[in-house]
Amino acid sequence: MKSRRKFLKQSILGAGSMAMTPGLFAANPKGKAPRRFIFIHKGNGLLPNTLVPSTLKGVELEKEKRKEAFEVSLDDHELPEWMGALSEHKGEMTILQGLSGKMCTTGHHTWQSSLGVYKANERLSSIKWATVDFELAKLFPSSLEHIELACFPSGGGNSRGNVNGIEKGFSARGPQQPNYAFGSPKVAIEELFKSVSGDKESKIQYQLERRLLEFAAMGEGAMAEELRGLEKAKVKNYSDSIESIRERNRKMDAMSDVIRKHAPRLDDKYFADDLNTVDRQIGHAEIALSTLISGMTNVVTLTADELGTIYTGVTDIEKESVNLHDVGHGKPVGKFEALEVREKVRRHHMSLIDRLVSRLKSVPEDGGTMFDNTMLLYFPDNGETHHSKGTEWPFIVMSGKNSQLDIAGKYIRLPHYGKKGHKTLGNWYTSILNAYGNSIEHYGAIDTGLAHMNQKGAIESFLG
């Protein structure tokens, strides 16, 4: 019994905790492409003033200064210089300002907060429900349901220390159920693409795991017949989880030709344990593209960095180890001031987004491209700044022409915190879920500091 449980735990971790709930494998309607979502979040805050187009003037500029609601077309304005990599995609971009998230954990480390819209911490009991990325994955089922990739911190915060391993991520599958994320391109490729690996040892390992899963499923099922009550329920859960992994493997085997065709082709440097942070993020982006294009998943979440992530490989300071916590406190790196270092990091993030969007635009689908059916969200883990309060939570959104939200090509500022018409992360995620088929009344916790306002529901102007 214990050995089987140990094996099951290792199997689930090795699969990135991607065991499915039975019934989530329904195929998408023939001829209709699924919708896809990419979530990219970062630590150390996202300074709202850095997202403002420099060409704002007149009434709009005055409203921006007062943080009053307005929107303008991005076609009429220049993007902030650090967003230059996305200039060719301006028509599909939204810069969204004015959301708040004070119902989340803010400050240094936020765990599942920014995706779940509740206060989370290191304790599993703090995970109240599935994060929004998993809710979207349920709407558009796939063989792997959801994939999470992360640049884990080396100290402090979530799953610290094991930067190259598989650890608890920043998403959640359900109450008290953290997701597991791949910390390096190497481990992600080894686990996600082992079914089509050309390496003989990997093939043997894959077949061995399949036989062990079959043996464990049979054994747990038989044992459950001899037990009663709570212990029987526990064993049945083990058995069901194993069968879910086996079902996932069957799906993956059926897709093997497509998976093999789109498996990432990475240089040897991406398999190194001492991979620098910038290259780690590029490797993760390539894996995200492979899993989306092959149809292995429709939802990918990438933690670009967490406050305890030590940055290496940053342009102009490649040889420096950048401590984001120190940068957050205004400490320079080399000859560059802290704000300049922040900009260099953001600039690299924009190049990652350009890589993702451009590649998806190059893949034909249903008379258009894969990007037509994709939405990408870039946002901070913890709100507006290093020691954030959660009164502002900026987003950059990239959405294809089949988006169900009417927001593309706009700079949108919503009413500031506490003002009439103010909206929260919960309203934003409710809008996305409602637009794509989940009619939930409201997603996320309520901000007790806004008790005088009706906080529930979608942002109606976004639904078009």
Judging by DSSP bridges, how do beta strands 310-311 and 93-97 pair with one another?
unpaired
SS3 72: strand
pLDDT in tens, 340-358: 999 999 999 999 999 999 9
CB within 8 A of 322, min separation 6: which ones?
A: 310, 311, 312, 314, 333, 341, 345
Q: Give the range among 88-102, 160-174, 368-382 with minimum mean pLDDT.
A: 160-174
Averaged pLDDT, 60-78: 98
Q: Which residues of 276-313 are buried (b: 16+ CB within 10 A; e: fewer)?
A: bbbbbbbbbbbbbbbbbbbbbbbbbbbbbbbbbbbbbb
Q: Label residue 414 by pLDDT band (50, 70, 90).
A: very high
Res. 223: pLDDT tops 70: no
Give me the amino acid identity at 338.
A
Q: Label residue 254 by pLDDT band (50, 70, 90).
A: low
Query: What percentage of the chain reaches a pLDDT higher than 90?
Result: 72
pLDDT for position 22: 28
Res. 15: pLDDT tops 50: no
Averaged pLDDT, 290-300: 96
- DSSP states along 335-388: TB-HHHHHHHHHHHHHHHHHHHHHHHHTSEETTEEGGGGEEEEEEESSSSSTT-
pLDDT in tens, 111-122: 999 999 999 999
Res. 24: pLDDT tops 90: no
Res. 131: pLDDT tops 50: yes
Res. 7: pLDDT tops 70: no
> pTM for this one?
0.86
Q: Hey, where are the domains in the chain?
A: 1-32+194-262, 38-188+274-462
pLDDT for position 198: 56
CATH of 38-188+274-462, one of 3.30.70, 1.10.10, 3.40.720, 3.40.50: 3.40.720
Res. 400: pLDDT tops 70: yes
Q: What span, in angstroms and rounded, lies between the C-alpha atoms of 354 and 194?
A: 28
pLDDT for position 447: 97
pLDDT for position 5: 44
Could you give the angle at the alpha carbon of 98 between the alpha carbons of 402 and 109, nearest 5°? 95
Averaged pLDDT, 100-110: 94
pLDDT for position 29: 42
Q: Label residue 265 by pLDDT band (50, 70, 90).
A: confident
Res. 365: pLDDT tops 50: yes
Q: What span, in angstroms and rounded, lies between the C-alpha atoms of 430 and 413?
A: 18
Q: How many CA atoms lie within 13 A of 202 on its CB side?
A: 12
Q: What span, in angstroms and rounded, lies between the C-alpha atoms of 147 and 137?
A: 10
Res. 208: pLDDT tops 50: no
Cβ atoms 133, 303 nearer than 8 A: no
Averaged pLDDT, 160-183: 91
Structure-model confidence comparison of residues 227 and 76, the more confident one? 76
Query: What percentage of the chain reaches a pLDDT higher than 70?
Result: 80
Averaged pLDDT, 446-461: 95
Q: Which residue has the tokens 């982006």?
A: 285
Q: Which residue has the tokens 């082709």?
A: 265
Q: For the chain, what is the total number of helices (H) and then of strands (E)?
A: 12, 14
Q: Which ranges in 94-173 belong to alpha helices (H)?
A: 113-116, 132-139
SS3 421: coil
Q: Which residues of 429-454 are buried (b: 16+ CB within 10 A; e: fewer)?
A: bbbbbbbbebeeebbbbbbeebeebe
- DSSP states along 173-202: EETTEEEEEE-SHHHHHHHHSGGG---HHH
User: Of 13-17, 53-57, 214-218, 232-236, where does the model show the most confidence?
Assistant: 53-57
pLDDT for position 372: 98
Residue 306 host element (H or E): none
pLDDT averaged over every residue in the chain: 86
φ, ψ at 259 (rounded to 5°): -60, -45
